[in-house]
Chain A
Amino acid sequence: MSTIHDGANQAAAQHASKSAAAIDRARAQGRAALIGYLPAGYPSVEDTIAAGIALAENGADLIEIGIPYSDPVMDGQVIQAATTEALAKGFHVRQVFDVVRGITSKTDAAVLVMTYWNPVVRMGVDEFSRSLAEAGGAGLITPDLIPDEASEWMAASDKYGLDRVFLVAPSSSPERMKRTVEASRGFVYAVSIMGVTGARTSVSSAAKDVVAAAHAAGAERVCVGLGVSNADHVREIAEYADGVIVGTALVAAIRDGGVDAVAALTKDLSTGLTKEEA
């Protein structure tokens, strides 16, 4: 037991955060990082891999692969429709590792998995983490897991050297902000608005305050998601955040125009990344 544990600690020490490294590379270029979301298995596992590679080749620094789930309470209509279709076509959770491996074997992008917690619980937190690490994954983004409930995941992510990206919200108290920032590794996911995923016409002013609060609580890297759908939004957020997360707009792109549309949108989004004053 102790030898395994020591070995794991060494592994964790040897593999610094892949997400942090990707964000830092963007920072060294004087810009914010671009993070793109795709649901695994939509419209097929092969398409998700191809689209992930297209994301990386057209300017995305990190890629989030979502696991389709029966009860996605934080997702709006577009992502719900996509993940429902993926499940109807027979997507299985283990295929997410094929997607991660397919992208990490072809690109340098950091690939995270975004998942509601029950599929991880069902597989076993340790086994899920081991499989993700073996596939070359960077870590997990957990929309319905708060640090308070994450003791198993804290241990497994340490053991396998995975990033744990928790969410902070406009409603987070200063105490919770501090606690969540301390529990996170890689970056902190700032929810820009009180709501679910989905394209919106403008970025909420609350986003800037959440990012400032997370930075003040000690977060080195804070990325903003929810409601970011075009290059103007990216430009606005890149002014104050370390990374910009785009989800629904990319899902709509792959839905309407396939991998080529993902590539084109990514290219366009990435024009907004450079900080004006940098």
Chain B
Amino acid sequence: MVRLMVDAPATGSDESAVDAFLQGDRPQEHPTQGEPSLRHAPGPYFGNYGGRWMPESLIAALDELEDTFEKAKADPEFTAQIADLNKNYSGRPSLLTEAKRFAEHAGGVRIFLKREDLNHTGSHKINNVLGQALLAKRMGKTRVIAETGAGQHGVASATAAALLGLECVVYMGAEDCRRQSLNVARMELLGATVIPVTNGSQTLKDAINEALRDWVANVGTTHYLLGTAAGAHPFPAMVRYFHEVIGEEARAQILDQTGRLPDAVCACIGGGSNAIGIFHGFLDDPSVKIYGFEAGGEGVETGRHAATITLGKPGVLHGARSYLMQDDDGQTIESHSISAGLDYPGVGPEHSYLADIGRVSYEPITDSEAMEAFRLLCRTEGIIPAIESAHALAGAIKVGQRLAAEAGPEGKATDKIVIVNLSGRGDKDVATAAEWFDLLDKDSPEAEIAKEGEQL
């Protein structure tokens, strides 16, 4: 385990919450069979994390959302609607593809890609937005608002709103709007209104702040369609619920294709929604090691990164207690990553808990490592991954090499199996990658655009 135990919360400071989550006396070390399940954790607390650190004005809306969500989960009509949309709109189940040529670079273990990149809109994000948009309809709300960094969640939200006939307003940092003008156009084509946010650092966290301000003022008609498994209860447990399908499918598919469970599961972590979705399927399988790869940016030693769990300290932001990138005064520190989707100074509370109990290992991957894995997948498998997902691929290379080393000279690396959640496709990242690999003509307009981080 690489993460540094900086300022971990005092054990026993929130025993009742731990008990509520575990419903038993689970040891804080290595989960083994026969112990209480880690699956379907209901919130509001995940160990010392989670909760509702929110203005009182929004508590009634959170209560209404929780109530609606709980009733919907128990309603066969709702679960049938979700299943139908997943199958006939998003294109689920997504494939599980063995990446044989890529695996040669990962110690020779077998690597399987969970192909969330093949979903409608090009990433796992669609799972959550469809679920939440349906809940908005059940609550009688006519308007959804969303935050977005690079634009992926904004595009997904605009998509779901168009499909279900909801008004959609997306808050996006002015800096991000400028860098991602084509995604702004995408959202507008889908009928959404994009509002540039000029406060603070003008990036994702400020877009969330502005969305929360909108929600406070318009909560009667409006649902806040939060894009990741973070925020105040019930968001972390609810967003996970809509993404659990990733892990369920992957578990069944790997059993079907190989006859056994994998040795390791890898995913990238920003807020952590794609990761918690695939992890969930394997949390109760003690033989499966689980890895979350954070954005190490230019290197965690440089301070320019988004490795929240690796280097952050517990705090409260955007409604939840979790690991947080903050200074000694508790002011949020701006994160940095080549991947806009991982560029967030917080992380979902369930991940903080899974880190503390040691069930999931969280490690940083630098921009350079991610981009090398990005190129490798392009050239060995003919798949252009999202740069976010490339962090998981880079981590899987390390995990594969470790597993191969453990197998020893006599052991067979090919007996080891690793699943990587390929959370999104990289079409949006072509300009960034072209700039990174210096593929563009110096004087071309594309080179100018790419310098700004534009994602095509």
Chain A interfacial positions (CB closer than 8 Å to B): 69-74, 76, 80, 84, 87, 92-93, 117-123, 143-146, 148-149, 166-173, 176, 180, 191, 194-196
Give bound CA distance, A122 to B321, whole Å. Answer: 12
Residues from chain A with a CB closer than 8 A to the CB of B54 are 144, 146
Nearest chain B CB to A72's CB is how many angstroms away? 7
Is B212 touching A145 in the complex (CB atoms < 8 A)?
no
Interface readout for B347-364 with A: 1 if CB under 8 Å, 0 if not?
000000000000000000
Kindly report which residue of chain A lies nearest to residue B332, judged by CB atoms: A70
For B330, the chain A residues whose CB sits under 8 A away are: 69, 93, 118-123
Contact B329 A73 (CB under 8 A): no
Q: Does B55 contact A (CB under 8 A)?
A: yes
- The residue of chain A having its C-beta at the shortest distance from the C-beta of B211 within the complex is A73
Of the candidate stretches B20-28, B75-83, B94-102, B311-319, the one touching chain A is B311-319
How close is A97's CB to chain B, nearest CB, in angstroms?
A: 13
Query: In whole angstroms, what is the CA distance A74 to B55 when docked?
Result: 8
- In the complex, the answer to whether B216 meets A196 with C-beta atoms within 8 Å is yes
Question: Residues of A contacting B317 with CB < 8 Å?
Answer: 71, 118
A148 touches B328 (CB 8 A): no
Complex Cα gap A84–B202 (Å): 12
CA distance A172 to B56 in the complex (A): 7
Question: In the complex, are the beta carbons of A191 and B51 less than 8 A apart?
Answer: no
Which of B57-65, B159-167, B409-417 lies at the interface with chain A? B57-65
Output the nearest chain B residue to A145 by Cβ-Cβ distance: B53
22 A-B contacts (beta carbon < 8 Å): A69-B330, A70-B200, A71-B206, A71-B332, A72-B209, A73-B55, A73-B209, A118-B315, A118-B317, A118-B332, A123-B329, A123-B330, A144-B54, A148-B51, A169-B55, A170-B57, A171-B59, A172-B59, A176-B60, A191-B56, A194-B217, A195-B213
Q: Given known contacts A72-B209, A73-B209, is B55 in contact with A167 (CB within 8 Å)?
A: yes
B324 interface residue (CB < 8 Å to A):
yes
Other A-B contacts than A146-B53, A149-B51, A171-B57, 8 sampled, CB-CB below 8 A, are A69-B330, A84-B199, A92-B329, A118-B315, A121-B315, A143-B55, A144-B316, A194-B216
Interface of B: prevailing SS: mixed
- Considering residues B55, B200, B316, B324, which has the most beta carbons from chain A within 10 angstroms of its beta carbon? B55
Assess whether A119 is in contact with B53, with CB atoms less than 8 Å apart: no
In the complex where A73-B209, A194-B217, A194-B219 touch, is A122 in contact with B55 (Cβ < 8 A)?
A: no
* Minimum distance in angstroms from A40 CB to a CB of chain B: 12
Q: Which of A92, A120, A123, A169 contacts B56 (CB 8 A)?
A: A169
Within 8 A of A (CB), among B301-335: 313-318, 321, 324, 326, 328-332
B52 CB-CB contact with A under 8 Å = yes
Smallest CB gap from B16: residue in A: A151
| Chain A min CB distance to B200 (Å) | 7
Q: List, in ascending order, chain B residues with CB within 8 A of A74's CB.
A: 55, 213, 216
Interface residues of B in 205-260 (CB under 8 A from A): 205-206, 209, 212-213, 216-220
What residues of chain B lie closer than 8 Å to A169, measured between beta carbons? Answer: 55-57, 60
Residue of B nearest to A68 (CB): B331
Residue of B nearest to A119 (CB): B330
Q: Which of B205, B313, B321, B330 is most buried by chain A, counting CB atoms within 10 A of its CB?
A: B330
Return chain A residues, CB-CB under 8 Å to B205.
71
Contact B57 A118 (CB under 8 A): no
A73-B212, A173-B60 known; A122 vs B332 contact (CB < 8 Å): no
Is the CB–CB distance between A122 and B52 below 8 Å? no
Complex Cα distance, B321 from A164, in Å, reads 21
Chain B interface residue count, CB cutoff 8 Å, equals 38
A166 vs B213: C-alpha distance in the bound complex, in angstroms? 19
Given A119-B331, A196-B217: A166 in contact with B56 (beta carbons within 8 A): yes
Q: Which residue of A lies closest to B57 (CB)?
A: A169
Closest beta carbon of chain A to B50's beta carbon, Å: 10
- The distance in angstroms between the C-alpha atoms of A76 and B59, with both chains bound, is 20
Interface residue from A87, A117, A170, A191 paired with B331 (Cβ < 8 Å): A87
Least Cβ distance of B354 to chain A in Å? 21
Q: Is the CB of A167 within 8 A of B200?
A: no
**Complex Cα distance A233/B321, Å?**
37
CB of B56 within 8 A of CB of A176, answer yes
* Minimal Cβ-Cβ distance residue in A for B61: A171
Closest approach, in angstroms, between the C-beta of B146 and any C-beta of chain A? 16
Cα–Cα distance between A5 and B206 once the two chains are bound (Å): 41
Query: In the complex the two chains form, what is the Cα distance from A195 to B61 in whole Å?
Result: 14
Closest to A81 in B: B199
Q: Which residues of B contact A118 (CB under 8 A)?
A: 315-317, 324, 326, 330, 332
| Complex contacts, A168 vs chain B, CB 8 Å | 56
Contact of A195 with B209 in the complex, beta carbons under 8 Å: no
Q: Which of chain A's residues have a CB closer than 8 A to the CB of B219?
A: 171, 194
B201 to chain A, nearest CB (A): 8
List residues of B (412-443) whose CB comes within 8 Å of A's CBs: none
Query: Is B329 touching A180 in the complex (CB atoms < 8 A)?
Result: no
- Which residues of chain A are near B315, meaning CB under 8 Å? 118, 121-122
Contacts of B206 in A (CB 8 A): 71
A92–B59 CA distance with the chains assembled, in angstroms: 30
Ordered nearest first, which 6 A-B pairs have the shortest CB separation?
A122-B330, A119-B330, A169-B57, A171-B60, A195-B217, A70-B331
> Which residues of chain B come closer than 8 Å to A70, judged between CB atoms?
200, 331-332
- How far does the Cβ of A191 sit from chain B's closest Cβ, in whole Å? 6
A123 partner residues in chain B, CB cutoff 8 A: 329-330
In the complex the two chains form, what is the Cα distance from A145 to B315 in whole Å?
13
Residues in B with CB closer than 8 Å to A72 are 209
Complex CA gap A69/B327 in Å reads: 11
Question: Which residues of A lie under 8 Å from residue B209 when comparing CB positions?
Answer: 71-73
Q: Are A121 and B316 in contact (CB under 8 A)?
A: yes
B59/A146 in contact, CB under 8 A: yes
B51 touches A196 (CB 8 A): no
